[in-house]
A and B are shown apart, each in its own frame.
Chain A
Amino acid sequence: MKKAGGKTALKRSKEGDEEQNQIFNFNRKPADEDKDDDLSDSEDSVYSGLEDSGSDSEEEEGSDDDEEEGSDDDDDKMKEKKEGEVSEEKKKDEYEHDSSDEEDIRNTVGNIPMEWYKDFPHIGYNLDGKKIYKPIRNKDELDDFLDKMENAEYWRTVHDKQTGSDIVLSDDQVELVNRLQRGQFGDVNFNEYEPMVEFFSSDVMIHPVTNRPADKRSFIPSLTEKEKVSKLVHAIKMGWIKPRRVEDDGRGRYYDLWASEDSSILARHRMHLPAPKIPLPGHHESYNPPPEYLFTDEERALWEQQDPADRKLPFVPRKYSSLRQVPAFSHFIHERFERCLDLYLCPRQRKMRVNVNPEDLIPQLPKPKDLQPFPTTRSLVYRGHSGLVRSISVSPSGQWLASGSDDGSVRFWEVCSSRCMKTVQVGGAVKSVAWNPNPSVCLLAVALDSVVLILSPSLADKQVILSSERLLSAQQEGEEPAEGNGSVVWSEAEGEELNQGLRLKIQHPKAVHQVVWHAKGDYLASVMPDNTSHLQVYIHQLSRRRSQNPFSRNKGLVQCVSFHPIRPYFFVATQRSIRIYNLVKQEMTKKLQTNSKWISSMAVHPGGDHVICGSYDCKLSWFDLDLSTKPYKMLRHHKKAVRGVAYHRLYPLFASASDDGSVIVCHGTVYNDLLQNPLIVPVKVLRGHVMTHDLGVLDVTFHPTQPWVFSSGADATICLFT
């Protein structure tokens, strides 16, 4: 407290000095009196700043001392106090004697801007409270100038604003001003470079610095200190303050951690998945890679376009001619950081990577060699048609081959020599031909437009020809053809047509797409696919020239039909399923789901227990009628629509013809005991047809006795594979 008082006093004295300074300064710059205040202000601020810093340091010292007081011995403190007091006393004395400044104060307005009194006649008040009047000034500029010119004392004349009078400075005062302006001490005698005497040094002096007797309080224990100590003791007791820790460099001290390797933690450890290591760099990453690993311009452009995640390499390979030219890799820290993230944020999973040998995946099938015989090579080509050959059929003896083509002709070929024996112009694109399976007759059914023709090609023994003629004429002799059905008209060929071998014409109401014979050779089924009516299938009896529509209602578009080779069943393939009807009981016995979009063809195994059916969506489904109504096997061997399928009568072979120009022959063993599933092995892919108009092979059929297969294609040829 006392100190603070002292300080204010000190300050005040300094302020006084400043005032003086101000006064002197006016003297120096008489020309700009108006700005005086500002100037003085600024100067004031400079000085005060200096003072402040000085006082700050004092304060700090003081505070430091305070702390020392708090913690350290009493002697110092006492000294300090004495010192303070002494200096204080001194200061007081000074004020008593040296009060010249205060004496001179006649104006009591204080330190205010004097322009406040500008408009008054007085300039302030004296100690008694009387007004101090401004001196009568009638000096104008001219007077001032004259004064400046004439008065020798003008340069040392200063205008006192408080009294409004001019003061002429003495020599001493001028000297003082000069010194201060030079930044020197005001006192001439003051030696600023006096050697410093350290009173409070580390040396212990024999004499005290001050002669002040010790205070009483220095002999009695301090209560505040006691309070502090007791607080600390309490804190230590309570464990709030802990003893200073022993400094240990635990970070850098290592020992043999694995001296005793115990297996206790291993249980947990077993579940742990170690992080995969970073893949090792390849040639790409070298600072001087082989030239083939550098990017070409396109590769570089591609790399730049790609998303960073899609890039194969996370960097662009570069080549530097020497090691000193290699710069820092800008993504080094990034990569380490990403690795860190991977280590602690990526889920880990043990992936059982099965190293599959692709060879093992290939199923073990009996070798095709062991499954011989089957057709392997194209041995004969039958040429002569000029349009695509839609349908072929082999005579039951296996000697003749009939083919129907879009050029409106039916041709008969000798199988062994590939000679065309006979050509019958039927006058329309032939959709289907079928040779009567009965070996004792020689008849061919041909479907074109809306007619089914029965031809007798007379390519057999006399006897056979005769018996077939007899079959055709049997009805004629008996009774007139029944006209009950109305829509189907039977008529006999005459004249020229008869010479060509045409015997019968069966006129249908709509376009016929397929004709099929019953195994006995007396019945004949024709298909007229049409959604609009129920008349889609007709069954004709040749011997009695009768036709009947077996179904009063048809579900869906009938694609093809087939007779069961042994039993009185009838297979009808609609667009997506195959229905099996019992002709005797006149009911449906089964419905097979083919799982394909559009059935194209169907063939029944000569045993009658299996059906294959090809579809336009490249599939071939094999049905085992005893097993289920779902396909036993789906074969997706073809790349394009399957057009025709066929079973061999004797050998366990079946073939499928497709638009991709290939015929695939498969070996499908059907075992006699029901426990064993049929084994299907593709044995040969036969190619021989040229693709024309996106069509390849249109029909396929087997030779009745030999393991040969015929195929007719869109390139107007027929091939024989043996």
Chain B
Amino acid sequence: GALLQTNNFSSLIFRRLCILKGIYPHEPKHKKKVNKGSTAPRTFYLLKDIRFLLHEPIVGKFREYKIFVRKLKKAYGKTEWSAVERVRENKPTYKLDHIIKERYPTFIDALRDIDDALCMCFLFSTFARTGKCHVQTIQLCRRLTVEWMNYVIASRSLRKVFLSIKGIYYQAEVMGQLITWVVPYQFSHDHPVDVDYRVMATFTELYTTLLGFVSFRLYSSLNLVYPPKLDSNGESEPKEESEDDYAMNSESYLEKLSALSASLARVVSSADEEEAQPDQFPSEGEDMEKMEAREKELKQQEAQKKLFEGLKFYLNREVPRESLAFVIRCFGGQVSWDKSVCIGSTYDVTDETITHQIIDRPSVGKQYINRYYIQPQWLYDCVNAKILLPVEDYFLGVTLPPHLSPFVEEKEGDYVPPEKLKMMALQRGEKPGVDEEEEEEEGEQEEEEEQEEDDNGDEEDDEEEVAEEKNLKKMEEQRSQGKSLHVKVTPGKLKVENKARLEQEEKAEEKRLAIMMMKKKEKYLYDKIMFGKKRKVREANKLAAKRKAHDDSEKAKKKKARK
């Protein structure tokens, strides 16, 4: 049965426990019954859950902590400094390992739930080291996120990137699980006042523990050393010039790691790491097709993993370094930046072998001939398209093509922006000219219109009937007129009957009649479903119309400009 929140322990501890143990309220079936007749909104927890919380050993730790705080206060109040020191030394600590294990009995469970943990850690790692939470937490979050990014680079598991107005979304496929996280843009936050940071801190506490264990497991699955160490004999050794005067050794190590420019040390040397060919199983019929499709997908994925291989990038100082370096390294590219931007740059601007320079300013002073100067969106679009897109649209100072979300998978009947169609054509290997594109667009629109027609089939029938009636009337009038005025026989026209059309109409009518016979309940459900479908179509049409209006106005502007 459901039960109201008990007062066995203070609500603060109870909340923390709920967060840590993953207990959530329940919606009782008979709210009024449980709530003693009142319908006021209240939160209900299962009695079983609360009993479960009470058995948690960490409750004791929380109480100890409370006592610790009390003792400390007392010592301060009495200005017994030695006592303060002694009490402080015995500050109770607790671990969340067993809770993690309990909440996520298998590793895959933990992986499935890591989205939120990543988002939170990435957010906390961008906090300034003042005020809102402990510095250690921020440092730990930073460390864990850097480790995570390094893992994603090492495993090349990044799949999609999306630049949104909120932040940068990344999606990686780790052990078959799609993991999405969002990183805010690199700005200092203006902290809202109506946010309870204690709740966030408790979540972070749990998430850091979870992320640490998951990282450990992931690193060991790739034979990487944990905590990560930079590969000392790798060829892409960061320059060691100004290292000594940079920072403390321990700090600079994390910095170097977070530069994301060097590969990680492995437990086993990477020489014997060969791509194991998947065994071919004999299969028949449709299995074969499925297998082939799978194989094709795998191949495509492999190709995507090596998207930037052989390309050498140089990041200008105004672009988001970490994100770009992360993306480039995830797809096998080489990347460097100005020494003064960050530690760990591997080559200079003057390097003649650089193929692409990422730049986000309207113009640049000195240009090298043998490299492309492109805007950062190109990289992200390439990743999402899984192919290297033509660079012309992304050159310096060029108006960028729209950046589309890679997470949207259009189903039939949904609106597909023309840019996406273009990209799909490119993926298929076509190279459409401008005219073709337009045609394609139009074709698409026509299709849509047709769909509309289908939807409006009912009304059309009515119209037809009305038209028929009109015809009849006319004929009759003619007849009556003919009687009085002049007799004239017009040769009859052979009415071509569209058989398919007739059949369709017949079917439509059949359906309409059957719908009339539906039961009330089913009719309601049916109407709701159909309403939803119609709304979807309406929205798609609206978008298409908006686009068309925009394109038209653009065209008109162009024409004006030409004149």
Contact = CB atoms under 8 A, between A and B. Distances in A.
Interface of A: 241-242, 244-245, 250-252, 254-258, 261-263, 265-266, 268-269, 272-275, 277-278, 280-283, 285-293, 296, 315, 317-318, 320-324, 326-337, 339-341, 343-349, 356, 358, 361-365, 367-369, 381, 635, 637, 664, 680-685, 687-688
A333 B192 contact: yes
Given A245-B90, A257-B97, A287-B403, A292 B517 contact: no
A664 B512 CA distance: 12
Contacts of A335: 166
A292 B192 contact: no
B93 A250 contact: yes
Given A255-B216, A288-B163, A333 B195 contact: yes
B261 to A, nearest CB: 21
25 contacts: A254-B226, A256-B220, A261-B105, A261-B106, A266-B105, A275-B113, A277-B115, A280-B408, A282-B407, A286-B162, A286-B164, A288-B400, A290-B402, A290-B419, A329-B185, A336-B120, A337-B196, A344-B15, A347-B44, A348-B24, A361-B529, A362-B526, A363-B517, A364-B514, A685-B509
B377 A288 contact: yes
Contacts of B417: 283, 290, 292
A292 B165 contact: no
B195 A334 contact: yes
A286 B526 contact: no
Contact of B199 (A257, A287, A337): A337
A316 to B, nearest CB: 9
Contact of A358 (B90, B512, B529): B529
A363 B514 contact: yes
A266 B102 CA distance: 9
A250 B92 CA distance: 12
A680 B517 CA distance: 9
B306 interface: no
Given A258-B110, A688-B469, A334 B192 contact: yes
Contacts of A255: 213, 216
B100 interface: yes
A358 B530 contact: yes
Contacts of B546: 291-292, 296
B389 interface: no
Interface string B359-391: 011000000000000011100000000000000
Contacts of A368: 509-510, 513
Given A293-B543, A337-B200, A347-B24, 9 more contacts: A275-B24, A280-B407, A323-B375, A329-B184, A333-B189, A339-B116, A344-B199, A347-B43, A362-B526
B510 A347 contact: no
B162 A281 contact: yes
Interface in B177-196: 180, 184-185, 187-192, 195-196
B203 interface: yes
B402 A288 contact: yes
B200 to A, nearest CB: 6
Contacts of B530: 358
B403 A333 contact: no
Interface residues of B, number: 115
Interface in B440-486: 462, 465, 469, 472, 476
Interface in B470-510: 472, 476, 506, 509-510
B377 A362 contact: no
A281 B215 CA distance: 26
B550 A258 contact: no
Nearest to B45: A347
B185 A326 contact: yes
B399 interface: yes
Contact of B217 (A258, A265, A635): A258
Contacts of A256: 213, 216-217, 220
A365 B212 contact: no
A257 B525 contact: no
A263 B106 CA distance: 9
Contacts of A330: 190
What 8 pairs between A and B have smallest CB-CB spacing? Answer: A328-B187, A280-B407, A292-B547, A292-B546, A285-B164, A254-B212, A347-B27, A290-B402
Contact of A265 (B105, B187, B510, B543): B105
A320 B164 CA distance: 11
B26 interface: yes
